[in-house]
A and B are shown apart, each in its own frame.
Chain A
C-alpha cells in the first residue's frame, strides 16, 4: 500500500492534490493542518531532486541506485503517514 500510494502522492505534488488522490484511492484521510501541507511540499521537493550523480562506471554507482531507491521508499512512507489516517 505504501509504495503505490506513495508514488501517487509524489505525482500529485501538492498537499491538496495528494489528499484528493488519496481519497480517490479510497484511503481514509487524517485531519488536515498547515504543518502537513509543509511536510508534503518539502517531501515532494526532496523526492523530485533525487537522481544519480555518480558516473555510470564509478565503483559506487550500483550502490548509489540502491540507496536512492531505499531513500525514495522512506520518503513515500512519510508522505503516506502525513496524508493517510
Chain B
C-alpha cells in the first residue's frame, strides 16, 4: 500500500463509516489527522487554501461518494444473494468497475494535492500520537462526538 492509498482509506472510512457508525467515523478522522500531522500535511488547513480548494472539494466529494450498491447497510444481504445470485453477479461487477474508477480518481487528486506521501506503519502511527494499545481509543472517540 502506498501513502496515498493509506490516506485515501482513512478519508473514505471517515466519510463513509460502516453502517453509518459515528464512533467509527470519529476514530478514522482521528487516525487521518495523526497521519496528516506525521507526514507534514494539513488536511483541514488545506480546505482554507484558495489555490487548492477546487481539488480538495472534488476529493472530499469523491470520498463521500461510493458507487451505490443494493446491499449497502442492508442486513438481509445474504438472503437476497442466495435468491438472486445469478443476476447479482453482473450488478456486483458493474459496481466494482465504478468504485475502481472513483478510487483511481481519488488517488490522482491526492497526488495533485499532496504529492508523494509515505506509507506509515502501525508503529509509526503510534509514534506520531495514536494512543498505544488502545485502538479504537474510546476517549478520543467520545471527545470528538
Contact = CB atoms under 8 A, between A and B. Distances in A.
A74 B94 contact: yes
Interface of A: 35, 38-39, 42-43, 45-46, 49-50, 53-55, 58-60, 63-64, 67-68, 70-71, 73-75, 77-78, 81-82
B70 A60 contact: no
Interface residues of B, number: 31
A38 B80 contact: yes
9 contacts: A35-B76, A35-B79, A38-B80, A54-B102, A54-B105, A64-B98, A70-B97, A75-B91, A82-B84
Interface of B: 58, 61-62, 65, 67-72, 74, 76, 79-80, 83-84, 86-88, 90-91, 93-95, 97-98, 101-102, 104-105, 108
A82 B88 CA distance: 11
Contacts of B108: 59
Given A35-B83, A39-B80, A74-B91, A46 B97 contact: no
Contacts of A70: 94, 97
Contacts, number: 77
A60 B87 contact: no
In this complex, the member of A39, A50, A64 whose beta carbon has the largest number of chain B beta carbons within 10 angstroms is A39
Contacts of A63: 101
Contact of B91 (A38, A49, A64, A78): A78
